[in-house]
Amino acid sequence: MPHHTVFEAKIEHLQILDETGKLDKKLAKDTLNNDQVVYLYEQMRICRALDDIAFKLQRSGRMGTYPQNKGQEANAVGSALAMVKGNDWIVPSYRENAALFMHGMPMHMVIQYWMGDERGSQFPDGVNITPLSVPIGTHMLHATGIAWAMKQRKVKDAAVITYFGDGATSEGDFHNAMNFASVMQVPTIFYCQNNSWAISLPREQQMNSATVAQKAIAYDMPTIRVDGNDIFAVYKATCDARKRAIEGGGPSFIEGVTYRLADHTTADDASRYRDPKEVEAWVERDPLIRTRMYMESVGVWDDKKQEELDTRAETIVKEVINAAISVPEPDKADFFNYMFKEIPEDLKIQRDTMRTTSIGRNPSQIGLKAQPAEAH
């Protein structure tokens, strides 16, 4: 056969809970029970409350730049529930806070991080999360490497999930991470939160591909596109991917189609580049709205419960902010002390004198007494 098809591919799309809160019962079988749905809804609501208060803090000058998660929470909570806390690893970008909280990251640490304090990434032992990653796409290779170590050490029943956006899939390291994971057949789940916008660049200008999910086909990786605002679809796709991963089936790819309802960060003004009509259409597809409609339709939620949750969320995030702002100021010695496990003598001198000038370090050279390092 001189000319024939050697490879064909297709991309499947999964939606279980639609925009109106209607559940496809057949597809929903063996996915989330109602207790889990309520739990995930609570996680999304609390994360939303944290977004709101973080936004206000930034606007009032009490916090630096902060990227809101608003609109994308279903991706984080649905996938995080499918992963095993303290056992699996999460290698995050910076728009999946709820997943990190569900896996044991103390909530105030994310605020501490965005308040410019490295201790916000000093996670307690047993929290298997790498720090939030501001550079785009570079962390996915670490997810591949961590999963590789699991395979190498024959760790049973463990996998890694890494999150990134549609923009990240243009980066070389995205492809590097996908190829390595595929060649080494390691248990990594690549979760793309396709929110349509990489700051101001729409997806159509980011790529000429019809879907993000199809990029995984080049790496012979099982791949699916899901409604990223549907906790059922997100959960199911991640469960399937994790099952494959721990059974030796290698990496998987999930594209969650979602939308960033807020600006890219508090330093951004999305009205400069986005059509308000587009945003309005996505407000209607807000994962919190549809999950609540579903819960009400099955009788596990009502206005009273909502009111209680709203109050609880407010209390929690206020406590979180208080915890973040009441952390003692960092010691300036710390930015030296953590350069290496044992820091070189030269660095100790810089730390102890807070000087780089040789005369300043030894003023006896010009007949002066040494000044102690400026008190903290």
Partner 1 sequence: MAIQTLVGAITSTLDQALAADKDIIMLGEDIGLNGGVFRATDGLQAKHGKDRVVDTPLDESGIMGTAIGLAIAGMKSIPEIQFEGFLGPAYDQLVNHAARMRTRTRGAVTVPMTVRVPVGGGIHAPELHSDSPESIYAHSPGVKVLMPCTPYDAKGLLNSAIKDPDPVIFFEPKRVYRTFKEEVPDEYYEIPIGKAKVVSEGEDLTVVTWGATMFQALEAIDSLPEDVSVELIDLRSIYPFDMDTIAESVSKTGRCVIAHEAPLTCGMGAEIAARVMEECFLNLEAPVQRVAGFDTIMPYYKLEHEYLPEAPRILQGITECLAY
Which residue is catalytic, options 260, 285, 290, 292? 260
**Which residues have a Cβ under 8 Å from the Cβ of 156 and sit 6 or more positions away?**
246
Task: Provide, for the chain, the percentages of residues in helix, strand and coil under a 3-state DSSP scheme, each rounded to the nearest 5.
Answer: 50, 10, 40
The residue count for binding partner 1 (CB under 8 A) is 44
* Sole binder of partner 1 in the list 36, 170, 176, 185 (CB under 8 A): 176
Annotated catalytic residue 3 = no
Q: What is the DSSP letter of 333?
A: T
Tokens matching residue 240: 């399937």
Please list every residue from 59 through 98 that binds partner 1, using CB under 8 A.
89, 91
* Sole binder of partner 1 in the list 4, 10, 29, 153 (CB under 8 A): 153
Q: Round to whole Å and give the CA distance between 20 and 32.
A: 18
**Which residues have a Cβ under 8 Å from the Cβ of 374 and sit 6 or more positions away?**
354
Q: Could you give the count of Cα atoms lying within 13 Å of 168 in the half-sphere of its Cβ?
A: 29
Q: Is 135 in the site for partner 1 (CB under 8 A)?
A: yes
Q: Round to whole Å and give the CA distance between 28 and 150.
A: 31
Between 175 and 305, name the residue whose CB sits nearer to partner 1: 175
262 touches 271 (CB < 8 A): no
Q: Is 345 in the site for partner 1 (CB under 8 A)?
A: yes
Single out the segment in contact with partner 1 by CB under 8 A; choices: 1-9, 18-26, 178-186, 286-294: 178-186
Q: Is 152 in the site for partner 1 (CB under 8 A)?
A: yes
Look at the alpha carbons of 223, 161, 201, 170 in this order and tell me if their dihedral is positive or negative. Answer: negative
Which residue is catalytic, options 103, 108, 264, 290? 264
Annotated catalytic residue 66 = no
Annotated catalytic residue 260 = yes
Between 273 and 335, name the residue whose CB sits nearer to partner 1: 335
Binding mask 321-340 for partner 1 (x = CB under 8 A): -------------xx--xxx
Only one residue has tokens 């939308």, namely 259
Residue type, 252: S
Between 91 and 309, name the residue whose CB sits nearer to partner 1: 91
List interacting residues with partner 1 (CB under 8 A): 89, 91, 118-119, 121-123, 130-131, 135, 138-150, 152-153, 172-173, 176-177, 179-180, 183-184, 334-335, 338-341, 344-347, 358
